[in-house]
Each structure stands twice: as structure tokens, then as C-alpha cells.
Amino acid sequence: MTPANSTHEAFDAVDVIRTKRDSGTLSNDEIDWMIDAYTRGAVADEQMAAMAMAILLNGMSREEIARWTKAMIASGERMDFSSLSVPTADKHSTGGVGDKITLPLAPLVAVFDVAVPQLSGRGLGHTGGTLDKMESIAGWRASLTNAEMMRQLERVGAVVCAAGDGLAPADKKLYALRDVTGTVEAIPLIASSIMSKKIAEGTGALVLDVKVGSGAFMKNEENARELARTMVGLGTDAGVNTVALLTDMSTPLGLTAGNALEVRESVEVLAGGGPKDVVDLTVALAVEMLAAAGRPQDEDAVRKALTDGRAMTKWRAMLGAQGGDPEATLPTAKETHVITAPSSGVLTKLDALAVGISAWRLGAGRARKEDPVQAGAGIEMHAKPGDHVTAGQPLLTLHTDTPERFDRAVAALEGGYEISANSGDFTPRDIVLERIS
């Protein structure tokens, strides 16, 4: 390893930063060196922070983003699933509120002999994390060795687990830096962060669920579309069959936000029930994953696997392989608080961001990655936009182990829902807004 004070570096960090600061184009060699030198400590955090800000302000070409992503992949190991007897497909969501789709989706796709290596993360802020949800199931463990993952993919067909430290370690450093330097929003850095890990993961096909709306990272369709196109381009250039769906995150997915609450709802979907929006998005993503993996199925065939028990059988096998008990009672919060409808009419708004922040304040999420979460905390929604409600009926039930959290959680919901006497004030919105390939 080259020491941080070495005088034998190929480039000077300040010169490379100035190039991007002045809207120049970085060479392949400059990008390769910048990522490598930052990973081994020859480029300081404050220097990479300056580079990230220059990228945020001045952007990158497709070629620059592709090389940046390639350099991030090269900073660590790459997985290889070519020895499996079936093709692989993965899904990545850019994050939202009530987004429990991975839980029913992975076993559903596995029904059709496509293996799903779902390397997932934990929640931060108002967006939930798949591993936090799964860890509310007694006995389930997130950490698997590569050998354990390969065995489970061959025998069961689906695995949800934590990504190892060896995948794109440069991204781990840069992600933490972006979080504290106001550069999270840089589309080239978002795209390269997501895709470096997904390409290094080695899956043959990838479907991206790019959320747009108040509860999403991308608030407007134009930015979401740009991010989706950038990521699809990166995947395609790397030889991964990649497609993206733009999906609505203006209102929460399903009727729950919170870890164990969302697991319960996911099991309902696997049992052939559950909220329509969760089922529709799960099926839409499964159809895309199967087609991308070369095992196409029509929507009716995919839906049948939810209603006839095959997806549930895969779910139980997936849980059991990782020590989880599918018969265990899910945790419930010690305290609840009910918010009732203030008037009668049609619920025209239920803001995803407001619900997400409220659930976070109840203990379902974390402000820092090392913070604990409450498995039973969160929010149940008793109506969705378009539903008729009556004054005094339960609208939302808040769950937490620590009732002193209720005041701030309720405050987060102020202005987050609206009821109109005129049903014409509500316009339904499709869950899938656009397909990008």
C-alpha cells in the first residue's frame, strides 16, 4: 500500500479536482487513480469531498460515469454465479416508504427457476431497510459467507442477505462522505454507487425500481428518469441485462410502514392477499426479472404463483435456510396511538414523506447507521387515497415501545393527509409510471 504522504503518485489530487471544477472531462487514468488513491488513503476525505461537489455542480459524461463505476468495482472483489444451474436476476429499489417488495418478490421469482441473490441494506432516515425488516423474524441472520449464499441459491433459489465488505469498498467510503458533505443528490454518484455494487455482485439480469415522489430520493420524474437511464446504460455497458421501472412514491406502498408490520403484510401477499399496490408492483417487477433472465412468464402465471402457495413455500424455505422461524410470532410494539379522520369524505392525500418521517420518529428507522431500530414500531394505514372515510374512524395507528415519541411522530403527520367532500378532487395514479430499457 502506498503511504498517504508518498511523492510517487501518478497525479496530484488538486489538479484532478480543478479539471472537474472547471467543467473539464476527466481521463480514464485520472478516474482510475482518484478512486484507487482515495480507497488506500492517498487522497484525503476533504479532497474527495471537493471532487464530489465539483461532480454535483458540473456533472459527468456517460463515459466518465462508466469509468468511475468501473474503478469502484475494481476496488474490491467480484462475485460469480456462473456455476449455478439456473440464471440469476436481481432487483434494486432506490428506496421509499412501506417498500417491502423484496420480501415477496425474491421467493416469487425463484418459483420459476431463476435464482435471486438479493444483497440488501439497512434503513437510514425515513426510508426503510430490507435487512431491518427481515431481522424482525426470530432467528433469521443477515450475514452469510459466499459459499453459504451459493448453496442457498442452488437449493432454494433465493437469498436475502447483507453485502460483504469486499464488494466495491471505494463506494462504502464515498457513500459515507457524500452523506455529510451535501453531495448525496449528484446523479453520477448515485448511479455509480448503486451500479458498482450491483455489477460487482455478478447477477446476469437486473431490474431497477426507481421511485419518484415525496417519499423517494427523486422528487420529480425528470430527475428520476435521468437516474434510471444512467443506471440502465451502466448496466448495459457492463454486460448486465438491465431495465428500469419508474414507480410512484407519492403515497406509501401498502398499508404499513415499519419493520415487523411490513413483514406481516408481505406474508399476506405471499398468501394470495395483501394490498393491491404491493401485489401489482411485486408482479410487475417479477415479470421484468423473469424476462431479463430469459425465463419469461405472463402476468397471470406470476399471479397464480402467489395464490396457489408456491411462492409461500419458497419464502418458508428461504427463511429456514437462514435460521428464521416462519411460525414465530412477529414482534409488536408496547404502545399504540390512533389518529382519526377529522371529517367525512374522500382521502385525497397521504404523503409518503410525512408517513416515513413519522415512522422513523416512532423508532422504525435510524438517524445514524449504528442506531438501533424497534422491530414493532411503525404505522398502520387504515385508508389509502381514493378511499371514502367517515369522521371519527381510525385513519392511522402509530406503534412504538416508547410512548414519549408519539408527540413528534404526530407532528410529522400534520399536513400529511387531506380529506375532501368532493370525490372529483382525487385523481388515481398508476403504481408503474414508465419502463426504461
C-beta of residue 78 within 8 angstroms of C-beta of residue 144: no
Residues β-bridged to residue 398: 337, 379
For the question of residue 27 being annotated catalytic, the response is: no
The label of the residue with cell 405471499 reads 270
Which one from 126, 197, 399, 405 is the annotated catalytic residue?
A: 197
| Phi, psi values for residue 392, rounded to 5° | 95, -15
Judging by beta carbons within 10 Å of its beta carbon (0-12, 13-18, 19+), is residue 323 exposed, middle or buried? exposed
Cα–Cα distance for residue pair 305/108, rounded to 1 Å:
7
Which one from 75, 93, 193, 214 is the annotated catalytic residue?
A: 193
C-alpha cell at 98: 412501506
For the question of residue 371 being annotated catalytic, the response is: no
Cα–Cα distance for residue pair 402/50, rounded to 1 Å:
41
Enclosing H/E stretch for 379: strand 378-381
For the question of residue 423 being annotated catalytic, the response is: no
Cα–Cα distance for residue pair 280/170, rounded to 1 Å:
36
Cα–Cα distance for residue pair 151/23, rounded to 1 Å:
48
229-240: b (≥16 Cβ within 10 Å) or e? bbbbbbbebbeb
Cα–Cα distance for residue pair 44/237, rounded to 1 Å:
30
Which one from 90, 99, 132, 171 is the annotated catalytic residue?
A: 171
Q: Which of 118, 205, 119, 122 has its CA nearest to residue 158?
A: 118
Which one from 133, 178, 225, 316 is the annotated catalytic residue?
A: 178
C-alpha cell at 415: 399536513
Q: How far is CA 398 from CA 9, 67, 97, 371, in A?
A: 56, 46, 15, 20
Pairing mode, if any, of strands 417-420 and 256-257?
unpaired
Within its chain, how far is the Cα of 187 from the centroid?
Answer: 16
Cα–Cα distance for residue pair 331/138, rounded to 1 Å:
9
Which one from 91, 92, 198, 361 is the annotated catalytic residue?
A: 92
Instruction: List Cβ neighbours of 180 (8 Å cut-off, separation of 6 or more).
Output: none
DSSP conformation class of 219: -
Residues β-bridged to residue 247: 211, 432
For the question of residue 92 being annotated catalytic, the response is: yes
Q: Which of 15, 37, 36 has its CA nearest to residue 26?
A: 15
For the question of residue 70 being annotated catalytic, the response is: no
Cα–Cα distance for residue pair 119/129, rounded to 1 Å:
11
Q: Show which residues are catalytic.
A: 92, 171, 178, 193, 197
